[in-house]
Chains A and B, each alone.
Chain A
Amino acid sequence: MKRILALLLATGLVLSGCGKSDTSSTASTPAAAPTTAAPSAGARKLVIGLLPKAKGNGYFVSCAKGAQEAADALGDTLIFDGPTNDDAGKQNEIVDNWINSGVDVIAVSAENKDGLSTALRQAEAKGIKVISFDADVQPDARTFFVNQATPQGIGYKLMDEAARLCGNSGEFAIITATLTADNQNEWKKYIDEDLAKNYPNMKLVDFRPCDDDTAKAQAVATTLMSAHPDLKLIMAISSKAVPGAAEAVKQAGKIGQVHVIGLGLPSENKDYVHAGVTDSVILWKTEELGALTVQVADALAKGTLKPGDKSFTVGDKTYTIDGDNVLLGEPFVFNKDNIDQFNF
């Protein structure tokens, strides 16, 4: 009885193996002529996979919107998918599935910089083009990194804006996403650097995570203000944390006393900016980031963009390429004077 089951199971597995197999070569064979991405992919519809750190995050939804518009304009198919929960390892699995379903380009924003690189190298070995955006992977695992701003640019901009609001002196605290997020940790490195170099009268007194939860960010901010009564500013370097920190300041009645800045979407922070709680929100044009990612992906697959190029032109815009980073531009500061102009 059990044997029948086992036999059937084995038969099923064997049958699945007999299914037409595309390539059964392993990655250890030297990169033979890529079978799935012909160099002259000019005429056909490309399939581009866009992999965010996680779905259900307004920031990535906004990138995807721009990406979809660009894909439509180019006549390409865009797949937007990502992990829906805390399990960042799912990014690897999605990459594996995309490799097997024959996408042409994969564009990722990595939660696990090194972990995701493992899967991406497999993709490259199979001839699929790989680029990264928003959060980079290991350089050998991708051809280009569409960088909204260098981590140094982001870290310095945050620190400079914080210093400006505090009059170059005082205590501040940082709320981050999770303790293990690679790009937040990299930004913090540059914040620390800028702080040490240029602002001797300012002091970073605390650094706490909010686990990507706005309510937790609110609770953490409340406690921070209370534990550090001389706190002048809260810097929320995760988009989920900014509204939470702002609400905490509002409830504590410390509007104007404790400044709030951070990285976040204009749409998620409009109310607090207008209420005077959040002073500035720093970001970049997320839709443009998504669109540029797709444009770079398309050009790379079609061969019009090659490693070593110094600039990339699409339509009437030209972007600088620094090494292998395609730069979107400078981080943008949204405040009450301009935030209404944007709807993302």
Chain B
Amino acid sequence: MSASTHQSGGAKAVFRSHEFILFVVLVAEWIFFYFAGTSKNYSGATVGFGTLDAQFDIMRHSCEIGLLALVMTPVILTGGIDLSVGSVLGFSAIVFGKLWRDGHLPIDIAMLGALATGALAGGLNASLITWLRLPPLIVTLGTYSLFRGLAEAVAHDGDTFTNFPASFINLGNERWLGVPEQLPILAVVAIAVWLLVHRTTFGRSFRAIGFAPEGARYAGLPVERRLALAYVLAGTVAALAGIIYTARLGQAKADDGTGYELFAITAVVLGGTSIFGGTGSVHGTLLGVAAVAVLTDGLSLAHWPREAGGVLTGLLLILTLTASVLPKMLSNRRSHRQTGPSTPQPSPPSP
């Protein structure tokens, strides 16, 4: 994968970079759906993909996944993964609802409570991963079940929380200065995560840990603390996503966010971040989220069945992965003819 923000090449490197190709794909998708999904209704007004409302809704729909994908990026950069973010979303949403309805706390305090829950959940992941040096895949597989189960237990008997005040519901559905209210939040988180990953030493250390955890340790990096930061951040932002999701739907249920972790991983990988860690970018992730969101909603606006979105997203992922590897394979072939036995695939770290 040639995606890297430390390329020494110039413009040429940009155009070959994974993010740029993804950007082109995104633009192509957008143009396609503009023509396939826009039409005029009987009174001559434009409807469909080409309307501002539709574009805003695409952003509204992808806000929660976008938050999860953004915060999954540093985690994956460290060579880890967090399968529990969807469950943390649901669990925090339930805690939020419970604190507000049964705890009679004001909405703001309930939100803080939910964020704290997310942070604690992330902390549980972090402690198991750093203190016991357990593989993140398995730890978060366990917490994926655990948090979902806790959500169901707190909301036992299928309880759901609803009838939130209108001002809260607006967070998910209304406009502020012309744009959907959750967008500024997404933008702030996106900028913050981007800065964290690309402009701070924390970000550098994430990559270093992803490349070589032992090497990073020998180099004096506080590996455990950095990993903890990544996972606690993931949990907290997942809780934020849970709050926004609850506002958008106007209801908190125990099964909120089921399957979202996989969407988030898809977006991150599409965006060029290597699942093995070490390379990747936040803007790539944003492009990945946009690519999937435009695809899914574009098909829906063009009245294609929902299954088409799933199939095409899967195919897009396969094509992207294959395409990212081909240049290296081709150049390997070339050097193979010159030098001898092909270089073996490196032993991949734990998935």
Q: What residues of chain A have their CB less than 8 Å away from a CB belonging to chain B?
A: 1-2, 4-6, 8-9, 12, 16-17, 19-24, 26-28, 35-36, 38, 41, 44, 55, 79, 81-90, 92-94, 96-97, 99-102, 112-119, 122, 178-182, 185
CB distance from B93 to the nearest CB of A (A): 11
B46 at the interface (CB under 8 A from A): yes
Interchain Cβ contacts under 8 Å between A and B, 27 examples:
A2-B198, A9-B23, A12-B30, A19-B52, A21-B51, A22-B45, A22-B46, A22-B47, A23-B45, A24-B53, A28-B174, A38-B42, A55-B307, A87-B258, A87-B260, A93-B57, A97-B54, A100-B49, A100-B57, A101-B47, A101-B54, A102-B47, A112-B249, A114-B160, A118-B169, A118-B173, A118-B251
A185 — nearest CB in chain B belongs to which residue? B158
B50 at the interface (CB under 8 A from A): yes
CB distance from B15 to the nearest CB of A (A): 10
CB distance from A287 to the nearest CB of B (A): 20
Q: Determine whether the beta carbon of A97 is less than 8 Å from that of B57.
A: yes
Bound together, the chains give a CA A119 to CA B297 distance in angstroms of 16
Bound together, the chains give a CA A97 to CA B305 distance in angstroms of 12
Interchain residue pairs A-B with the least CB separation, the first 6: A102-B47, A118-B250, A115-B249, A115-B251, A21-B52, A114-B162
CB distance from B241 to the nearest CB of A (A): 12
B301 at the interface (CB under 8 A from A): yes
Known: A6-B283, A36-B47, A113-B251. 9 other contacts (CB 8 A): A5-B19, A5-B20, A17-B55, A22-B45, A79-B303, A97-B297, A97-B300, A99-B57, A119-B249
- Per-position binary interface string of chain B over residues 1-18, scored 1 when its CB falls under 8 Å from any chain A CB and 0 otherwise: 000010100110110000
A184 — nearest CB in chain B belongs to which residue? B158
Q: Determine whether the beta carbon of B174 is less than 8 Å from that of A27.
A: yes
Bound together, the chains give a CA A187 to CA B168 distance in angstroms of 31
**Interface residue ranges of B245-262 to A (CB < 8 Å):** 245, 248-251, 253-256, 258-260
Please pick, from A5, A24, A185, the residue contacting B14 in the complex, using a CB distance under 8 A.
A5
Q: Determine whether the beta carbon of B248 is less than 8 Å from that of A100.
A: no
Residues of B within 8 A of A84 (CB): 306-307, 310
CB distance from B10 to the nearest CB of A (A): 8
CB distance from A16 to the nearest CB of B (A): 5
Please pick, from A5, A19, A23, A36, the residue contacting B55 in the complex, using a CB distance under 8 A.
A19
Q: What residues of chain B have their CB less than 8 Å away from a CB belonging to chain A?
A: 5, 7, 10-11, 13-14, 19-20, 23, 26-27, 30, 34, 37-39, 41-43, 45-55, 57, 60-61, 152, 155-158, 160, 162-163, 169, 172-175, 178, 198, 245, 248-251, 253-256, 258-260, 283, 286-287, 297, 300-303, 305-307, 310
Residues of A within 8 A of B48 (CB): 100-102
Q: Determine whether the beta carbon of B283 is less than 8 Å from that of A20.
A: no
Q: Determine whether the beta carbon of B52 is less than 8 Å from that of A115.
A: no
CB distance from B162 to the nearest CB of A (A): 4
Residues of A within 8 A of B258 (CB): 85-87
Residues of B within 8 A of A100 (CB): 47-49, 51, 53-54, 57, 301
Residues of B within 8 A of A12 (CB): 26-27, 30
CB distance from A206 to the nearest CB of B (A): 14
Bound together, the chains give a CA A19 to CA B35 distance in angstroms of 12
Q: Determine whether the beta carbon of A81 is less than 8 Å from that of B300.
A: yes
CB distance from B255 to the nearest CB of A (A): 6
Q: Determine whether the beta carbon of A16 is less than 8 Å from that of B259.
A: no
Please pick, from B30, B158, B250, the residue contacting A179 in the complex, using a CB distance under 8 A.
B158
Known contacts A19-B51, A36-B47, A101-B37; is-contact A1 B160 (Cβ 8 Å): no
